[in-house]
């Protein structure tokens, strides 16, 4: 069975940068929120291309956001408006308390 080195990588990076666990947790929350927003977009029957057009941006920006990339708050606001979601997204409140904690 292949060995998963993720925990070892996180531990090593955490020794080098004590803030690293916080960065991992933030990224985990971003990815979880993105997944919820993708579900909302799909439930509304919207493609990434349509959302990008509504936002006045490129589809690659929507793709980055939906992949959990680090985007500006203003980009997240425009995305939420484009899919008919409040900002901050209702899902963000739930994720703050239920996101898996790193390490």
| Sequence spans of domains, the chain | 6-98
Q: What is the pLDDT of residues 19-66, one digit of tens each?
A: 999 999 988 888 988 999 999 999 999 999 999 999 999 999 999 999
CA distances for 65 relative to 21, 56, 61, 102, angstroms:
21, 14, 6, 21
State the pTM of this model. Answer: 0.76
Tokens representing residue 36 in the block: 């919820």
Out of 3.40.50.300, 1.10.3720.10, 3.40.50.920, 1.10.260.40, the CATH code matching 6-98 is: 1.10.260.40
Q: What percent of the chain clears pLDDT 90, i.e. is strictly above it?
A: 57
**Separation between Cα atoms, residue 51 and residue 21, nearest integer Å:** 33
Average pLDDT over residues 63-92: 89
């Amino acid at each position: 069975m292949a060995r998963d080195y993720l925990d070892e990588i996180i531990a090593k990076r955490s020794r080098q940068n004590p803030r690293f666990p916080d960065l991992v947790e933030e990224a985990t929350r971003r990815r979880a929120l993105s997944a919820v927003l993708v579900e909302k977009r799909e439930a509304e029957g919207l493609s990434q291309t349509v959302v990008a057009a509504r936002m006045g941006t490129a589809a690659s920006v929507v793709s980055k956001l939906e992949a959990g990339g680090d985007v500006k708050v203003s980009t997240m606001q425009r995305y939420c408006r484009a899919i008919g979601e409040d900002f901050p997204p209702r899902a963000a409140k739930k994720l703050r308390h239920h996101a898996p904690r790193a390490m």
